């Protein structure tokens, strides 16, 4: 099945087959870090614009590396350096970039739905790099890729997501992807950050950390999104860390072969201690590296070469 969609807006709308196609394509690029020559010629002559209206280190850098390693020209625009600061509308910015010959736009925005608006405005592919608390599909895909790399499968696994689910676009994309591929998903955190309504997404809501992580194959720890909290949703960071922060003691509740993941950036000492983040069971470094392979696969499928099923290894 070739890739058919113009845009990547969220995992909610993708079928399991489409998710599989991205993961299979990413396999081809997975060893890119080991290669002496990292460049594939695939997107030579194409231009990819990274339009970031919110701060980002790993997502922006890895989309940039992905574009460059596919030989595209990559342009980075951040909100402070764009005409958005002069009041230009998002749709107008997108039309300008399209008129200047951009072949794809990667957008991060604090408003849920901003990439969808863009996708309706321009004919070129739009890739959602995180919209508000809605979705972060490339992160969801790299999480699926990392889990499968370590566990050999997704179907039948039990995956626990811990923490600030309310504000987490990563959690929403992970939940869509994991459930579509047949994993059982548990979620846990303070009731203010994990409302019971999450059950409607097909996950099991736990109030306490211990039963939620016991027996889990994968534990995904989320960043406590202090910048998105109107305040007052947790009594204190110390209490949050004591009840839900993954530390050496709580790591002992996990299976010996459980995988620990975090989308980054981590508040070390709040949702996870440095010791837990560096534990041999932690796959956080693999997540960062796999992010490049998955984003190369996405650019390959959406911007060039999507007519072939999986690219030939150069």
Binding site for ligand ASP (CB under 6 A): 59, 130, 136, 169-170, 223, 225, 263-264
> Shortest gap between Cβ of 276 and ligand ASP (angstroms)?
17
> Shortest gap between Cβ of 162 and ligand ASP (angstroms)?
13
Cβ proximity to ligand ASP, 26 vs 133, nearer residue: 133
> Shortest gap between Cβ of 64 and ligand ASP (angstroms)?
15
> Shortest gap between Cβ of 63 and ligand ASP (angstroms)?
12
First to last CA, the chain: 22
Cβ proximity to ligand ASP, 186 vs 223, nearer residue: 223
> Shortest gap between Cβ of 55 and ligand ASP (angstroms)?
9
Distance CA 267, CA 271 (A): 6
Cβ proximity to ligand ASP, 46 vs 60, nearer residue: 60
Cβ proximity to ligand ASP, 263 vs 304, nearer residue: 263
> Shortest gap between Cβ of 132 and ligand ASP (angstroms)?
10
Spatial contact of 154 and 22, defined as CB atoms under 8 Å apart: no
Cβ proximity to ligand ASP, 263 vs 311, nearer residue: 263
Cβ proximity to ligand ASP, 168 vs 273, nearer residue: 168
Report the residue closest to ligand ASP, judged by CB. 223
Distance CA 114, CA 275 (A): 37
> Shortest gap between Cβ of 37 and ligand ASP (angstroms)?
29
Cβ proximity to ligand ASP, 28 vs 161, nearer residue: 161
> Shortest gap between Cβ of 166 and ligand ASP (angstroms)?
12
Spatial contact of 64 and 50, defined as CB atoms under 8 Å apart: yes
Burial of 184 (0-12, 13-18, 19+ CB in 10 A): middle
The full length of the chain comes to: 314
Cβ proximity to ligand ASP, 59 vs 290, nearer residue: 59
């Amino acid at each position: 099945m070739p890739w058919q969609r113009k845009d990547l807006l969220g995992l909610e709308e993708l079928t399991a087959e489409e998710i599989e196609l991205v993961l299979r394509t990413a396999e081809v690029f997975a060893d890119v870090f080991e290669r002496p020559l990292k460049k594939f010629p695939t997107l030579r002559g194409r231009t990819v614009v990274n339009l970031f209206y919110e701060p980002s280190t790993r997502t922006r850098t890895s989309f940039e590396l992905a574009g460059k390693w596919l030989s595209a020209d990559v342009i980075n625009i951040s909100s402070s350096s764009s005409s958005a600061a002069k009041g230009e509308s998002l749709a107008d910015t997108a039309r300008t970039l399209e008129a200047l010959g951009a072949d794809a736009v990667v957008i991060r925005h604090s408003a849920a739905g901003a990439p969808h608006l863009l996708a309706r405005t321009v004919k070129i592919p739009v890739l959602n790099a995180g919209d508000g608390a809605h979705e972060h599909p490339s992160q969801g895909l790299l999480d699926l890729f990392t889990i499968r790399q370590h566990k050999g499968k997704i179907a039948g696994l039990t995956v626990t997501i811990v923490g600030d689910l309310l504000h987490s676009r990563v959690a929403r994309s992970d939940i869509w992807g994991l459930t579509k591929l047949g994993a059982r998903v548990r979620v846990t955190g303070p009731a203010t950050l994990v409302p019971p309504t999450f059950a409607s997404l097909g996950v099991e809501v736990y109030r306490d950390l211990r039963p939620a992580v016991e027996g889990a194959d994968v534990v995904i720890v989320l960043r406590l999104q202090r910048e998105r909290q109107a305040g007052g949703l947790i009594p204190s960071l110390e209490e949050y860390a004591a009840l839900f922060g993954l530390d050496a003691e709580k790591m002992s509740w996990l299976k010996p072969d459980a995988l620990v993941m975090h989308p980054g950036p981590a508040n070390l000492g709040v949702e996870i201690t440095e010791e837990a983040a560096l534990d041999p069971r932690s796959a956080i470094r693999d997540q960062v590296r796999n992010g490049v392979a998955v984003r190369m696969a996405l650019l390959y499928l959406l911007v060039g070469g999507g007519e072939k099923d999986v690219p030939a290894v150069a």
